[in-house]
Amino acid sequence: MNTMDEQLPSYQKSVLVGGGIVGGLAFLVNIISGYAQISAEPSVTILGIMAIMSLITCLVAMTGALISTWHYSQFLEQPITLGKGALIGLFTGIAVAVVSTLLNQMWSALNPDFNQQVMESVIASFEQLDLPEEQIQAQTDMLYNSMKNSGSIRGILSSIISGSVFYGILNALTGMLGVKLFIQNKIPPRDYIDISETE
Amino acid sequence: MKADKGSPQITRKYRIGYGIGVLGLTLVWLGAMGPGVWPFNSGVLASATHSSFSMLCHQLPERALMINGNLTLVCARCAGFYSGLLASWTLFGLVCWGKEEMLKTGLNKAGYFLVAILIAVLANVAGQFIGLWSTPASLRFLLGIILGAALIAVIYQTVLSEKYMIKLNSSIYEYHG
């Protein structure tokens, strides 16, 4: 246990800020792309729009830890290690998974037909692609199973758990980057204190 | 306790971090590659994993790779990205143990490289979207690998800087890790 950990402010608030913002943004991008998908005729262009939207989501989902470490750096008077940054990123990833899953569930409760409409539209677009029948069938089955389980307790839990693992690990990486960008350059490593101060 | 160069406490800390990184990135890689590389075939797990990656990738089937008769759960570029993360994290760590100084010199401009490859990927996506060109899956996979490797290079550069500061300060500072 590091003796100076006790002097560091808690990072829970920063994790909630980063996870909340990014979870909310990821949910919004999903909803917008879902409605773009539903309201248009099935076409490869719509899949292209989804690809662009998902590219944004991908970048956003990995920036959660950057937001958290930046927010945390505002309260720091001493630097933290990369390990601490990874930990902040891990918890931010978990927060992203929880927030986005819960928002998706709330949206599904308010609009029960939304997921069904999105799935039917995506499947209709898949059928326009030049793919072997077995690939289309495999993809359709996977989408159908995802949608069928999404509303159940098991589906929600598995979504939170698997999302926490993937977002957690990826945000742990960007959490370390956040330490480099926002914290480490300002002040020297914290794990060390001057002997002359202790003696 | 006084921390000297190559302190067992510091080395142990980095080795644990390295091991956790390898395990975590292997998990992400297995998830991204899908049932084609899994030792078992679970429909429930495939659906949950597919659902999780839906916020990280467009998952278009014609952009995915086919492995052992199964489509990957992410597109070729993302599959390359996760492969690049895992491969470079593992390799840089191994090099770091044997030739740390060489790695430190090699990763000196990693940040610029990351920005350059990020611009290249975005240009590739934009060009493809507006119909200027069509990039084959192999090239998208390769770009993804380079992007993942560049991200890990920046992280290793940061890790090595931290280690360097520890060594630099070890003669005058006391270790409390």
Chain A positions in Cβ-Cβ contact with residue B177 (cut-off 8 Å): 2, 191
Residue A195 has what pLDDT? 43
Position with higher pLDDT, B58 vs A174: A174
Strand B173-175 relative to strand B64-67, pairing: unpaired
Model confidence band, residue B174 (pLDDT cutoffs 50, 70, 90): very low
A188 vs B159, B165, B174: nearest CB: B165
Q: Would an 8 Å CB–CB cutoff place A48 in contact with chain B?
A: yes
For residue B78, how many other CB atoms are within 10 A of its CB?
27
Cβ <8 Å between B129 and A195: no
CA distances from B60 to A34, A159, B31, B64, B140 (A): 14, 20, 16, 6, 14
Q: Minimal Cα distance from B45: which residue of A? A: A158
Q: What is the DSSP letter of A10?
A: P
Please name the residues between 103 and 162 in chain A that touch chain B, using a CB distance below 8 Å. Answer: 126, 129-131, 135-136, 138-139, 141-143, 145-146, 149-150, 155, 158-159, 161-162
Task: Decide: A88 and A68 in contact? Cβ < 8 Å.
Answer: yes
**From CA A141, how far away is CA B43, in angstroms rounded?**
9
pLDDT at A4 over 70: no
pLDDT at B175: 44
Which of these, A78, A90, A83, A80, lies nearest to A18 by C-alpha position?
Answer: A90
- Residues A43-68, mean pLDDT to the nearest whole number: 70
Q: How high does pLDDT run on average in chain A?
A: 78
More confident residue, A55 or B31: B31
A173 and B CB contact within 8 Å: yes
Confidence band of B32 (pLDDT split at 50, 70, 90): very high
Nearest to A69 by CA among A179, A167, A187, A164: A179
- pLDDT tens string A69-115: 999 998 887 778 888 999 999 999 999 999 988 998 898 888 888 87
Least confident range from A34-38, B127-131, B138-142: namely A34-38
Q: Pick from A50, A139, A192: which is nearest to B174 by CB?
A: A192
Which is nearest to B74 in space by CA: B45, B40, B51? B51
Closest CA to B151 of B58, B23, B34, B21: B21
Q: Quickly state the pLDDT bin for A194 (edges 50, 70, 90).
A: very low
Instruction: Report the chain A residue with the minimal C-alpha distance to residue B65.
Output: A135
Query: Does the beta carbon of A170 lie under 8 angstroms from any beta carbon of chain B?
Result: yes
Of B17, B31, B169, the CB nearest to A192: B169
Q: Look at residue A197 in the predicted model and tell me its pLDDT.
A: 43
Q: Is B41 on the interface with A (CB under 8 A)?
A: no
* Alpha-carbon gap: A120 to the closest alpha carbon of chain B (Å): 15
Report the distance separating Cα A21 and Cα B47, nearest Å.
Answer: 26
Residue A138 pLDDT: 72
Could you give the C-alpha distances from A5 to A81, A178, A191, B8, B141, in angstroms and in order?
11, 19, 9, 21, 42
Tens-digit pLDDT profile for residues A175-185: 998 998 888 76
- Tell me which DSSP letter residue B2 carries: B
Whole-number Å distance between alpha carbons of A23 and A17: 10
pLDDT of B39 above 60: yes
- What does DSSP assign to residue A9? P
CB atoms within 10 A of CB A114: 17
| pLDDT attached to residue B166 | 65
SS3 assignment, position A192: strand
Average pLDDT in chain B:
81
Give Cβ neighbours of residue A92 (< 8 Å, ≥ 6 apart): A15, A18, A19, A22, A64, A65, A67, A68, A171, A175
Task: Using alpha carbons, list the distances in angstroms from residue B47 to A64, A144, B80, B157.
Answer: 25, 9, 21, 37
Chain B interface mutation, best of A146, A181, A185, A193, highest count of B Cβ atoms under 10 Å: A146
3-state secondary structure of A168: helix
Using a CB cutoff of 8 Å and minimum separation of 24, what contacts does B4-10 make? B4/B170, B5/B167, B5/B170, B7/B170, B7/B175, B9/B175, B9/B177, B10/B163, B10/B166, B10/B175, B10/B177
Q: Please tell me the predicted confidence (pLDDT) of residue A134.
A: 73
Contacts of A67 (CB under 8 A, 6+ apart): A17, A18, A21, A22, A92
Task: Tell me the DSSP string of B30-88.
Answer: HHHHGGGG-SS--HHHHHHHHHHHTTT----GGGEEEETTEEEEEEHHHHHHHHHHHHH
Whether ipTM tops 0.90, in short, is no
pTM: predicted TM-score of the whole model, two decimal places:
0.82
Q: What is the pLDDT of residue A58?
A: 60
Q: Which two tokens stand for residue A85?
A: 């940054």
Q: Cα(B140)–Cα(B128) distance, rounded to whole angstroms?
A: 11
Instruction: Answer with the residue of higher pLDDT: B107 or A48.
Output: B107
